[in-house]
Structure 1
Amino acid sequence: MSGPAIERDTRLPEQGRLPERGLGLALEILEQVARHDHGTTAADIARAVGAPRATVYRVVNSLVRDEYLVRRADFSGFMLGARVLDLAAVVGAHARPDYAPIVDKLRAETGEAVHLFGFHRTGLTILDEDPAQPLADRDLLLADPARSASGHLWLLAHPERDLPGAPHWRVHPSADELQGIEDAFAVRGYTEQVATLAPDRGCLAVPIRDERSRPLGAVTLSIALVRLSVAARHIGALREAAAALAQSAPLSRW
């Protein structure tokens, strides 16, 4: 004999949303932030996803703590963080991006290792690593901006780097290091590192800027230390590539 039927409560909370739904809400929040290039506020996010503001604040704070979101420098809202941008670069690597022919051409012309980096508020993202001549030390490059030519350009492009919650570099350069980087760039118009990532290699980096001269990233040329003295002959090619890369998608929207 069957027992009484169990009546399921099919009623949904207000607006059909469960505050405890966790991952789904976090993904919706990330999607809303991604729709706003210059960031958006937690209040606007809450209105867009239709969830209680207190719940959205809790999820947003968790995403900031885990570096999926970052606070704007003026604390007026939130932007995508390093972990989302890195993930986007990994996903994009499976497709042939618009900038790939430019980077391939530069590698063929120079015969050297060429790498492409994107800049975001908390650091660097490796967009295109030379498959034939990989980076010497990825972890160190992404931890200490003073160790790489691309990191030098990032430092020059981000005077707000000392604001609370800005970069997440594990190593911070000294005032003397920063001054040396600025002085060298003022003379050369590009940055250079010598044997700071690998004892037998050096690197040159040229900035990639949009039409308003805002930094988008860097294109770099890594070369054996014994040939570093002649590496400057490739600067013209690097600058031409940087100008073309500034117009390419998705770099132009980075």
Structure 2
Amino acid sequence: MSRPGSDPGLTGRQPSAVHGALSVLEEVARAGPGVTAQQISRSLGLPRATTYRLLNLLVQDEYLVRMPDLAGFALGHKVALLAGLAAAAAPAENPHDIVVELRGRIRGGVHLASYRDGVLELVDVDPDFPLSDERRLLSDLSSSALGTLLIAERRHDPLPFSSRPTPAMPGRGCFAAALRDATGALVAGVALALPEQRLAEPESLLELIAPECRRLEAALR
């Protein structure tokens, strides 16, 4: 008979069993496909009989699968399903918020451009560092780093970045990093408006903004 206020469907041993099953799943994920029951038992400090019982339950419920040679175990399709559902449920970041963060740590202007349908379009211009000649930037692609990325893409010679001096502003320059989709196609570009001397090491600039570029690529997908 259950005590008042207790859950008759949950015994004192069940939480321990659930914890053990989750620990086994974590160990298989950590060790990788082919890990054996003996290795799991040793790593987790579980009795061998308990380990086998948990493994069998997880295999029956398709959270684990036996390897073809029956010597070890790997994660099953239900784990992949749960991971996929979790990824789908995670809200995508707002590209504008990422650009704002980048502006907070770059001493210069930060602009975001789209290349949708193969056309350069400015979608997020830095209000504190307005473009010197937006009309020319859009009409003469060769005059800007953003345009140069698109020219290279059209020629099937993709670039990871481009840098150019700003014609209308002596001593100033522009660096642009390419943002690509899962197929590798150019979809957007991040441009930095900087003093021209800072363009001397473009690889360092690319490394500097790489974290935000990766986040922007994920958000734009």
2:96 to 89, 100, 122: 100
The 5-angstrom pairing of residues 69-88 of structure 1 reads none
Distance 1:122 1:216, change over 3 A: closer
Count residues with an aligned counterpart.
129
The one-letter code matched in structure 2 to 1:199 is P
Q: Secondary structure at the match of 1:117?
A: strand
Q: Is the 8 A contact 1:114 1:221 kept in 2?
A: yes
CA distance in 1, matches of 2:153, 2:102: 24
CA distance in 1, matches of 2:150, 2:102: 22
Q: Secondary structure at the match of 1:133?
A: coil
The one-letter code matched in structure 2 to 1:117 is A
| Matching of residue 131 in structure 1 with residue 127 in structure 2 | yes
Shift of 1:203: 0.8
Q: Is the 8 A contact 2:144 2:166 kept in 1?
A: no
Partner of 2:139: 143
- CA offsets, 1:192-250, max 9 Å, x none? 111334223101111000111111110011102244336653321322222111121xx
Q: Secondary structure at the match of 2:210?
A: helix
CA distance in 2, matches of 1:246, 1:215: 10
Q: Secondary structure at the match of 1:241?
A: helix
More RCO (CA 8 Å, sep 6+): 1
TM-score normalised by length of structure 2: 0.52
- CA offsets, 1:153-195, max 9 Å, x none? 11122238xxxxxxxxxxxxxxxxxxxxx69x4xxx4111113
Gaps of 5+ in 1: 1-96, 161-181
Distance 1:240 1:203, change over 3 A: same
CA distance in 2, matches of 1:128, 1:218: 11
2:113 to 77, 101, 117: 117
The 5-angstrom pairing of residues 39-58 of structure 1 reads none
Q: Is the 8 A contact 1:110 1:234 kept in 2?
A: no
Distance 1:108 1:146, change over 3 A: same
Distance 1:148 1:104, change over 3 A: same
Partner of 1:198: 169
2:190 to 219, 225, 228: 219
Q: Is the 8 A contact 1:201 1:222 kept in 2?
A: yes
Partner of 1:209: 180
Q: Moved runs in structure 1, 4+ residues, more than 4 A?
A: none
Gaps of 5+ in 2: 1-92
The one-letter code matched in structure 1 to 2:99 is V
Partner of 1:156: 152
Q: Is the 8 A contact 2:163 2:199 kept in 1?
A: no
Shift of 1:106: 1.1
Q: Is the 8 A contact 1:106 1:237 kept in 2?
A: no
Query: Identity of paired residues, percent?
Result: 26
Q: Is the 8 A contact 1:118 1:127 kept in 2?
A: yes
- CA offsets, 1:58-111, max 9 Å, x none? xxxxxxxxxxxxxxxxxxxxxxxxxxxxxxxxxxxxxxx811121111111222
Q: Bigger CA drift: 113-122 or 129-138?
A: 113-122
